[in-house]
Amino acid sequence: MLIDREFRKILAPILLLVLLVLASSLLLHGVARLEGRDVTLLRSLYHVAITLSTVGYEDVIGCAGSTPLTLVNIALIFVFMLGVAYAVSNFTAFLIEGRLNKYFQVKKIMKQIGRMNKHYIICGAKDIGIYVARELADTKRQFVVIDESAHALEILQKEVPSAVAIEGDPTDDAVLARAGIARAQALVAALETDKENLYLVVAAKDIHPGIKIASRFNNPATRHKFTNAGAGYLVSPNMIGGMRIASELVRPTTVSFLDTMLRNKADRAMRVEEIEVPAGSPLAGLTLADVHKQTGLLVISCRQPGKEEFEYNPAPSVRVTAGMTLIFISHPEQRILMERKAAGGK
């Protein structure tokens, strides 16, 4: 962990000083005993302490009467001067460069991640990664962003202040573990190259075989490789961009409606959402009209379990069954209410 390595930079000189104090005390004690002086180890430690601190109360072990002790003491004074200067310079740099503050920030972030469950991991904070993070934040979903670039994470924090971010290599198993991949429900591979994203998909599946993965890809020839590696959702920025341009030309009003829904904060982040009704859900057996009465949501489409076709504008009399997928438009609070109702909560 990078910040732990930084923290160890100030612990190392402190540990060095402690070892110097102990070794010096033993050395002075040994030299004094060789000269037949009745000097205890505690008195030697006391002498080293007042020498190191520059307090200088008195010559507590009688160095003035012994050439060896005098020479050793002189040497220790210079050694301690260098040791203290080294420790102070490291600690000062640690404070001035903001590494201490960063250390506690990272500790706080790790506690946040430790409380997360069924969250999303976004690998890559540039371009696509920022938009994914913004969408998850707007719809009140928990997520962690990983990127090697501190500058990219600074930009992300300005765009999405609530983002929880980790600086590190997204393809590193240790970094993925810090992001809580074992408890995550999905991972977004939004790195810049197909090679990086493909390796990330393999690494993520190796750690958590059941995790859902959505990945960007640039070269259509690599699509099957991502599928074979375990990526269940693939997005080509070029393809999406081309479809968007065509849609702007042939259905501009529809595109404007969707853009307004995605961008207008006044509508409290309205989105087209989905939920799969779990087994044993209180919603099972109810009609869509009953669901509307309990949640205020109007189901605009549904899909029966085991089927691929959707039923659009289903009748209010259609009954909900376990495994059915319901599609509806809602803001985050309504979606959370629907999820709680489906799970048996209040």
pLDDT tens-digit series, residues 27-63: 877 887 787 777 788 877 877 777 777 666 666 666 6
2-97: CATH, from 1.10.10, 1.10.287, 1.20.140, 2.30.29: 1.10.287
Tell me what percent of the chain is helix, strand and coil, each rounded to the nearest 5: 55, 15, 30
| Sequence letter at residue 60 | V
pLDDT at 320: 94
Interval 262-301: pLDDT, tens: 776 655 678 889 999 999 999 999 999 999 998 889 999 9
Query: What phi, psi does 72 have (nearest 5°)?
Result: -60, -45
Identify the CATH homologous superfamily for domain 270-343: Regulator of K+ conductance, C-terminal domain (3.30.70.1450)
Q: Under DSSP, is residue 42 helix (H, G, I), strand (E, B) or coil?
A: helix
Is residue 134 within 8 Å of residue 106, measured between CB atoms? no
pLDDT at 164: 94
| Sequence letter at residue 15 | L
Print burial letters for 256-281: b (CB count within 10 Å at least 16), e (below 16).
Answer: eeeeeeeeeeeeebbbebebebeeeb
Q: Considering the chain, what is the average pLDDT of its residues?
A: 85
- Measured CA to CA, the distance from residue 46 to residue 17 in angstroms comes to 15
| CA count, 13 A, side-chain hemisphere, 244 | 9
Strand order in the sheet with 311-312: 271-276, 325-330, 299-303, 311-312
pLDDT at 95: 61
Report yes or no on whether pTM surpasses 0.85. no
Low-confidence ranges of the chain (pLDDT < 70): 1-10, 54-66, 93-101, 264-268, 345-346
Q: Are strands 325-330 and 212-216 parallel, antiparallel or unpaired?
A: unpaired
Computed on alpha carbons and rounded to an integer, the radius of gyration of the chain in Å comes to 32
Q: Which fold has domain 101-235?
A: Rossmann fold (3.40.50)
pLDDT at 181: 96
Nearest Cα neighbor of 140 from 327, 268, 329 is 268
pLDDT at 94: 64
pLDDT at 12: 75
| Sequence letter at residue 334 | Q
Close Cβ partners of 103 (under 8 Å, ≥ 6 residues apart): 3, 6, 7
Q: Please name the helix (run of DSSP H) or strand (run of DSSP E) that holds residue 327, with its range, or none.
A: strand 325-330
| Sequence letter at residue 203 | A
Domain extents in the chain: 2-97, 101-235, 237-266, 270-343
